[in-house]
Structure 1
Amino acid sequence: MGTNIVGGLVDLGRWDMDPSRRTVLGAGLFSVALTIPGWPDVVGRAEAVQSGRTRRIGESEVDTVTAMTERISELDDQFGGRHARPMAAAFMVNTVAAYLRADAPESVRKSMLSAASDLCYLTGYMAVDEGQHGLAQRYYLKALELSGAAEDYLTYCTTLRGMSVQAVDLGHGTKSLELANAAAAASPQAGPRMRAFLTGQQAHAAAQTGDRRMALRYIREAETAMDRAESREKAFGSYDPAALNYHISQVRYELGDTGGAVAAMQQSDKVRDSFYRRTRVRMRGLLAERQLSAGHLEAGCATFDLALDDYPQVQSARADDRIRSVLTLLRPHLNNRTAKAVYERARAVTQHRPVAPA
């Protein structure tokens, strides 16, 4: 496989790895990998490829990368990217790069490139979660390169959309819309759930640019596509009614409808799967922030209290930011008994975290 692709992947992964933690990373990665069926055999095959004893790979190695990516993604969803991303970087450098260098039939070569692009995209997403935006962009660009070489339009579109999400969250609406449109254009035959996944992001980006007409058009398209998707088997579960309601909330907020934004975010929280703990903390923090900004003190305190239930188990800079923002909004209201109680609880919960108030 391409030397430049592999070399760039290794350099990127090593850049992301902290040498002082490599022993810890190895142990953590192994504990995750134990959940993959047949792992002892997989370890042996991986070590053989790394040492040069095996120069050819097959579908089982592709399955290994896919399974590890899924496990790391699950850790990210539950606990945040602060611990999961170094595992991904270590696996990329120590195992995936060797697989990409090995000989393989053409079908296996493309499948391995695709699996590697998925891992790069996930690692970039986790870098965004830590506020490492430059690093995230490097991972995203590598994911685009790998998915292009694999002719994997799904990961290519997903990565472009991820870059759009990063841009809109940083307030770069025009660039976000360009990326969201590029993602949609690269996926002309997308199924209904993928269409909702793409048009929901287009709606958010368009709303941030102030294009009310296009934002409302895109969000209607996303709602229609989601209705069709929900009537079928849930084959593409990364975009669900909770995610759609989040986009509805963001569109309403950008267009000046704070009450509608709060209502949509409440619906998003109501239908969100409890598995997605990191997202639940972030979104409840955002909901509390908007409730407090709108003058709904009691409701905002109640939502913030729920966010604090899960927060100690999550390691995420974006979650930290949400907690910090709500604490700032609560400070002027400490003469209120409810506000003071939840504020003091937050102080205790964040005592050893970077968001602890002075």
Structure 2
Amino acid sequence: MARPVTNAAFEGLLAAAGYGNAHAAFARQLNHAGREQGAWRYDAASVYWWLRGRTPGENVQAAMTETLARKLGRPISAAELGFGALSSTGSCVYPASVDAAIDATDQIWTTLAKHHGRTTDGTFDSGKALQAALGWRYDLPDETVNRQGRQQVTATDVLSLYALADHFTDMDRRHGSGSPHTRAVMADLLVRQVGPMLRGAYTDTVGRDLMRAAATLAGQLAFMSYDAGEHAMAQHHVILGLRLAKAGNDRLYGAHLLANLATQAVFLGHAREAARLAEAAIDGAGRAPATVLARLHATAATAYGQAGERRACQLALNKAERCLGRTGTDPGPRWIGYFTPAHLAGAALRCLGDLGLYPQALLQAPEALNLGSQNTRTRALHTALIASTHARAGDTDAACDWSRTLARDVASVQSVRLRQRLRELANNLRPHQSSPQVNEALVALAVTPAAT
């Protein structure tokens, strides 16, 4: 049984233009109108899904208005098409097919590139996050991802995308992602370079690697959006990355993305949902390299710590420590190389502090700061966490001492997450502001560049 039409406005325009019973003809005209965008291969099935709720990208809608305006002899606005506001990040639904994922990336990358600096609509949706986890874990694999298009994509082309991801990853770790310009630049590169490749021509082998590379880029942009406080945008990119990783048969990177979604849920206070996401990532990763498993168990520990589940938290920490002790035998994929004993110590510091186990938490402090010079933001986050843990433990002298070291670490970092840590530190110190030393630290925190 055919699904009912949900976009009556688009249906009416097609009928008025003579395409009511000629959806394939409309798709051919659309492909012709969009030839400068690369090789589109829309067909009658594409029109079917647009009529039933699927939203094409902004440049596709522009080609639709051009095609319909030519037939109707009058201007057509994008609003008349009935697809809703283009600036919305959408509903964060896990795409059912590779083509749907490609359409969704086109839409969201174009939106981000054109509307940088504008706060996006929507909030983190834990229900959609869990649905995406189920889709990633249990949907059948894609039989093939080969594609016919105008631009031929080679293995060498795909390698260049990994270099692009490395560049933005390094910039993010050094400076944070609070500047909307940084994310807009990345989105613009994705629109101009990666989008046409996804719509190009490639074999199944090249296509799988292309999907993995695109998932890596979507995952990096997701993490940058999360660091900038754009939580709906971050969630949408993680979900798209999950679908692309699924198409690329990369279960390890998919598990990593799901753990990132769990980390975001912890930040937003959705502890129990975060724990479920982390456990789904561990289950989906299967017999993964030790470093990957260490990271996943560390994420689960932070979720259980925030939820107050002491036994589950400590069990997850123990598993993470044991896994990290085995990393010499199998270092894992290149992208997990960032996760070091310092990152595990930071996770332990966080979750043990959440459980009120302050002495045990502070034992992690020296290792948590044993970071490479490129990890500027992580060093600042860990330093602020150490200071807050001292304050919560009642040692305001130590908290103030650590607060003074923050100025060196935060000067060049723009990060909403870091601002949140600084606010938490100030809130933990404020009950003791009658102390001159604490008051001085509060004044210094208030004028710290990262706090404004």
> TM-score range, shorter-chain basis?
0.7 to 0.9
Show structure 2 runs of 5+ residues with no match. 1-40, 42-97, 118-148
Is residue 2:166 matched to residue 1:70?
A: yes
**CA distance in structure 1 between the aligned counterparts of 2:361 and 2:301, rounded to whole angstroms:** 14
Is residue 2:262 matched to residue 1:262?
A: no
Question: What is aligned with 2:178?
Answer: 82
**CA distance in structure 2 between the aligned counterparts of 1:258 and 1:270, rounded to whole angstroms:** 17
- AA of the residue aligned to 2:327: A
Question: What is aligned with 1:148?
Answer: 246
**CA distance in structure 2 between the aligned counterparts of 1:274 and 1:104, rounded to whole angstroms:** 39
Question: What is aligned with 2:129?
Answer: none
**CA distance in structure 2 between the aligned counterparts of 1:333 and 1:7, rounded to whole angstroms:** 54
TM-score between the two structures when normalised by the length of structure 1: 0.83
Question: What is aligned with 1:25?
Answer: none
Question: What is aligned with 2:71?
Answer: none
Q: Which residue, out of 415, 418, 425, partners 1:319?
A: 418
Q: Which residue, out of 227, 235, 258, partners 1:160?
A: 258
Instruction: Count residues with an aligned counterpart.
Output: 321
Paired residues of 1:280 and 1:307 also in contact (CA < 8 A): no
SS of the residue aligned with 1:56? Answer: coil
**CA distance in structure 2 between the aligned counterparts of 1:226 and 1:210, rounded to whole angstroms:** 24
SS of the residue aligned with 1:154? Answer: helix
The range that moved more, 126-135 or 208-217, is 208-217
**CA distance in structure 2 between the aligned counterparts of 1:286 and 1:74, rounded to whole angstroms:** 23
Paired residues of 2:343 and 2:368 also in contact (CA < 8 A): no
Is residue 2:320 matched to residue 1:222?
A: yes
Question: What is aligned with 1:105?
Answer: 203
Q: 1:233 to 1:160 in 2, by over 3 A?
A: closer
SS of the residue aligned with 1:70? Answer: helix
The range that moved more, 292-301 or 335-344, is 335-344
Question: What is aligned with 2:106?
Answer: 10
Q: Which residue, out of 225, 233, 238, partners 2:338?
A: 238
Q: Which residue, out of 202, 212, 215, partners 2:300?
A: 202
Q: Superposed, which structure 2 residues align to 1:1-358 within 5 Å?
A: 2-19=98-115, 55-83=151-179, 84-230=182-328, 236-264=336-364, 266-350=365-449, 355-356=451-452
Question: What is aligned with 2:85?
Answer: none
SS of the residue aligned with 1:237? Answer: helix
After superposition, what is the alpha-carbon deviation per residue over 1:56-89, rounded to whole angstroms, capped at 9, x for unaligned? 0111211111100110000000000123322221
Q: What is the Cα deviation at residue 178 of structure 1?
A: 1.0
**CA distance in structure 2 between the aligned counterparts of 1:294 and 1:59, rounded to whole angstroms:** 54
Question: What is aligned with 2:74?
Answer: none
RMSD of aligned residue pairs (Cα, Å): 2.3
Paired residues of 2:151 and 2:196 also in contact (CA < 8 A): no
Paired residues of 1:9 and 1:92 also in contact (CA < 8 A): no
**CA distance in structure 2 between the aligned counterparts of 1:56 and 1:198, rounded to whole angstroms:** 37
**CA distance in structure 1 between the aligned counterparts of 2:409 and 2:206, rounded to whole angstroms:** 41
Paired residues of 2:369 and 2:383 also in contact (CA < 8 A): no
Show structure 1 runs of 5+ residues with no match. 22-52
Q: What is the Cα deviation at residue 238 of structure 1?
A: 2.2
Paired residues of 1:131 and 1:318 also in contact (CA < 8 A): yes
Paired residues of 1:193 and 1:225 also in contact (CA < 8 A): yes
The range that moved more, 284-293 or 247-256, is 247-256
- AA of the residue aligned to 2:184: P
- AA of the residue aligned to 2:109: G
* Structure with the largest fraction of helix: 1
Identity, % of aligned positions? 24
Higher Cα Rg, which structure: 2
Q: 1:335 to 1:175 in 2, by over 3 A?
A: closer
- AA of the residue aligned to 2:111: W
SS of the residue aligned with 1:283? Answer: helix
TM-score between the two structures when normalised by the length of structure 2: 0.66
SS of the residue aligned with 1:17? Answer: helix
Q: What is the Cα deviation at residue 331 of structure 1?
A: 4.2
